[in-house]
Amino acid sequence: MNTAELISNGKAVMGLEFGSTRIKAVLIGENGEPIAVGAHDWENRLENGIWTYSLTDIHEGIRDCYSNLVKEVKDKYGVSIKSLAAIGISGMMHGYLPFDKDGELLASFRTWRNTITGDAAAELTKLFDFNIPQRWSIAHLYQAILNKEEHVGKIDYLTTLAGYIHWKLTGERTMGVGEASGMFPIDSNTCDYDAGMLDKFNNLIADKGFGWKLKDILPKVLKAGEKAGVLTDEGAAFLDASGELKGGAPMCPPEGDAGTGMVATNSVAKRTGNVSAGTSFFAMVVIEKQLSKAHEELDMVTTPDGYPVAMAHCNNGTTDINGWVNLFKEYEEAKGNTPDMNELYGLLYNKALEGDKDCGGMLAYNYNAGEAITGLNAGRPLFVRMPDAKFTLANFIRSHLYATLATLKIGCDILFKEEGVEVDKLYGHGGFFKTKGVGQRMLAAAMNAPVAVMKTAGEGGPWGMAILAAYMLDESGVSLGEYLNTKIFAGEDGEVMKPDEADVKGFDEYTELYKKTLAAEAAAVEHMV
């Protein structure tokens, strides 16, 4: 059937993801191809020291996003969306959304961006012998307990943004294992919350008299492929103000943006990984066995089907180098020119390839914010060079491209060099790779691993969520990895770039100097106030 018939007959599948700055819905056809999109731009706000979005922001945002999807469908195909074959909801991971027994939110939504749980995260990391980052839901819960916040005893349900929307649409308190792994540690053998750690936490708070055990207030954990409820009539009315959408569509377990990124880059199998490179950077590697010990620089999460994943997360990405490129834009404008930004980025990024492999004695820190991997709670962008540095444009730009990856490399070096984790291929996605061959080459040097960039990576997390919803409908019984390889990515390996030995050596030398000079960055944070 053609696309209009597919939509009219309720055979299309929708994935919707709440990103940090955009809510986006993607409609896909029978082979996973995107056929329509809708979006809504939004921004978090800082209220009483908390980075948050209000429930009004959330509700209005998803409705406007869906409305824009419907509009595109009508404009492109001349039909309405009255039913869907399946739906999947995703969102930025972690954070804190506690509700009482009446479904009322007890405290403002605390997003992943907050770094207000340092005491809780440190204590839980020691208790579990497992790294608990500040942004995880359990860190937020325990910090609220340490702060003696009155609402804690009233909690009936604790969830994430994706889990909350799934609950609104289905009435089900469920969550995909990948998203759940950002709330509380997961045992990959059972694909459920780690039982021993649950006991330790319950014992830790036993004298508080809250009247709940931790697992009772957390979402039920499901794997990719399992059904997680259906869109209710009330859920359909909540999503579609026009009233055209009917309930009944099966819904897959809600997932986090890390999991949808893995799906969108076909990196859910062991010995694969992906690097998301934009305003923040993170690398995720699917490992064959658990690490030998806890590393504060690395998060342990899972794929949507429960395999353990080591994650290095960096708060800072391309913001600083974007600022430098804008200086060149201003220079062109001062000459009376109107530069094409894609052309300008391409010119400067390609110029970096002419630079010295170690950047010729130049060093940059892209720290607009702090970085847990390097032990800094705040940041100050910094550029420094040796007096006899080879002060060329090529080295200058290359040093800033290296800077975007240096902290990520420090985290991943623990994986590859200390833990001996092996990876066959990494998939890169995000704006850093827009200039063909440059960011890809730099990443291959930083990770000392082959890097692939696929056309489909640009479709992003909402598309990955739609693929997870489609996988739920598949009755062949194949694994998620096999489904992606044979059904979605068949014949699509992307453009692969192997690491250049000289690049790898140069990046290693740059990184050693980078680590030695971190004291200068720390001093800038302390004194530049």
**3-state SS record for 135-148:** CCHHHHHHHHHHCC
Assign 443 to helix, strand or coil: helix
What gap in Å lies between CA 112 and CA 92, rounded to an integer? 8
The answer to whether the 94-159+184-217 and 266-316+412-497 domains have the same CATH topology is yes
For domain 94-159+184-217, give the CATH number: 3.30.420.40
**What per-residue confidence (pLDDT) applies to 456?**
58
Q: pLDDT tens, 308-322?
A: 999 998 989 999 999
**What per-residue confidence (pLDDT) applies to 430?**
80
Band of pLDDT at residue 454, cut at 50, 70 and 90: confident
- Which of 269-273's residues contact partners 24+ apart within 8 Å by CB, and which partners? 269/481, 269/485, 270/307, 271/422, 271/423, 271/424, 272/423, 272/424, 272/425, 272/426, 272/427, 273/423, 273/425, 273/426, 273/427
**What per-residue confidence (pLDDT) applies to 470?**
98
Q: Which two tokens stand for residue 470?
A: 């489609």
Query: Nearest-CA neighbor of 451 among 406, 494, 413, 496?
Result: 496
Residue with tokens 């039982």, as numbered in its chain: 195
Question: Is pLDDT above 80 for 351?
Answer: yes
What gap in Å lies between CA 73 and CA 28, rounded to an integer? 12
Q: Which two tokens stand for residue 507?
A: 């990046």
Query: What's the Cα-to-Cα distance from 51 to each of 47, 61, 147, rounded to whole Å?
Result: 6, 17, 18
What gap in Å lies between CA 483 and CA 469, rounded to an integer? 12
Question: Is pLDDT above 70 for 458?
Answer: no
The class that CATH gives domain 266-316+412-497 is alpha beta
Percent of the residues in the chain that have a pLDDT greater than 90, as a whole number: 88
**What per-residue confidence (pLDDT) applies to 277?**
86
Q: pLDDT tens, 90-115?
A: 999 999 999 999 999 999 999 988 88
Q: Which two tokens stand for residue 341?
A: 């930004």
Rounded to the nearest 5°, which phi and psi values hold at 97? -130, 90
Q: pLDDT tens, 362-413?
A: 999 999 988 989 999 889 999 999 999 999 999 999 999 999 999 999 999 9
Question: Is pLDDT above 60 for 449?
Answer: yes
Q: What is the mean pLDDT of residues 261-277?
A: 91
**C-alpha torsion sign, points 161, 165, 168, 172:** negative
Q: What is the mean pLDDT of residues 327-356?
A: 97
What gap in Å lies between CA 76 and CA 72, rounded to an integer? 6
Structural domain spans, the chain = 94-159+184-217, 266-316+412-497, 319-406+501-527
What gap in Å lies between CA 249 and CA 259, rounded to an integer? 22
Give the CA dihedral 141, 142, 146, 148, nearest 10 degrees.
Answer: 30
Q: pLDDT tens, 29-70?
A: 999 999 999 999 999 999 999 999 999 999 999 999 999 999
**What per-residue confidence (pLDDT) applies to 187?**
95
**What per-residue confidence (pLDDT) applies to 457?**
52
**What per-residue confidence (pLDDT) applies to 377?**
83
